[in-house]
Amino acid sequence: MSQEPSTSGNRGRIWRHSQVVRDLPPEVMDMIFDLLRPLNWDAQRPPGAVWWRSGREELMACYAVSRFWRESARRHLFRDFIVNFRCELPPPPGMLADLYAPHYRPTAYWLPDLPALFQFLNDSPAITKYIRRLRLHCNVAVQLPKIQPGVLLGVLRSVPNLRVLHLSNVALTVPPRSLCRGSRRLYLASSFPIQTPATNPGASLIWKLHSSWTVSSRSKNSIY
């Protein structure tokens, strides 16, 4: 009858398996972590919630495995950044501390407005470099906020590697051309027509955008 392997044998197997994982090229690790990414990164979330991705709990588990996994997991964890504004409630304290807590579970947070998001990004420099896609959405049952270009520009400057910006149910005043720098794709979505003193903000924004952008104007229920 075969005997159970000794403790030292188990440790040896764990070490060999760990070494195999450590020897994987970074590109392969990225492909593995990318399997946790949902197909519809900007699917509708509960109003007032800040979410990073639907597979976030699994990525947080990967983040806690080792320092070798941490960088890849963090890069995928914060790549898709979604903010739903709701104006009645202030953001709770310790948002970033909760994020890194080992007992963390996906939770809805509240952000009252765009300046609150700007402050959160300024207080979280460790994650802003990983954000590639940013979605700003307002629950139309609450109100339709007007976003000033200067505040939005400050948010965009806080995420230097941003490639996709999705604006949903917000009234955007005529933006400066500097908003066009860096990002490559903009989505405009609204559940009803939005008017400004000048014109429809979607048409105005498209008219002002630099030719390097790919602009898509979709309905709120569209799948990207």
For residue 122, pLDDT beyond 70: yes
C-alpha 37/C-alpha 43 separation (Å) is 12
According to the model, what pLDDT value does residue 133 have?
83
Beta bridge partners of 82: 51, 135
Strand order in the sheet with 164-168: 50-51, 80-85, 133-138, 164-168, 185-190, 214-219
C-alpha 11/C-alpha 17 separation (Å) is 10
Q: pTM value?
A: 0.58
Residues 6 or more apart whose Cβ sits within 8 Å of residue 64: 102
For residue 129, pLDDT beyond 70: yes
According to the model, what pLDDT value does residue 46 have?
47
The stretch 110-132 carries a mean pLDDT of 81
In 3D space, the residue among 187, 170, 190 whose CA is nearest the CA of residue 86 turns out to be: 170
Residues 6 or more apart whose Cβ sits within 8 Å of residue 154: 118
C-alpha 216/C-alpha 91 separation (Å) is 31
pLDDT in tens, 40-64: 554 544 444 444 445 667 777 777 7
The stretch 111-134 carries a mean pLDDT of 82
According to the model, what pLDDT value does residue 7 have?
46
According to the model, what pLDDT value does residue 181 have?
54
According to the model, what pLDDT value does residue 1 have?
45
Per-residue pLDDT band at 26 (split at 50, 70, 90): confident
Residue spans per domain, the chain: 25-219
Q: Which of 4-8, 126-130, 219-223 has the lowest mean pLDDT?
A: 219-223
pLDDT in tens, 132-165: 888 877 765 545 556 677 777 888 888 888 888 8
> What is the DSSP-derived secondary structure letter of residue 83?
E
Could you tell me if 108 and 83 are in contact, meaning their C-beta atoms sit under 8 angstroms apart?
Answer: no
C-alpha 131/C-alpha 98 separation (Å) is 19
Tokens of 105: 């579970």
Ramachandran class of 48: left when φ > 0, alpha when ψ lies in -120 to 50, beta otherwise: left
The stretch 110-125 carries a mean pLDDT of 79
Q: What is the 3-state secondary structure (H, E, C) of 129-167?
A: CCCCEEEEEECCCCCCCEECHHHHHHHHHHCCCCCEEEE
Tokens of 206: 């498209």
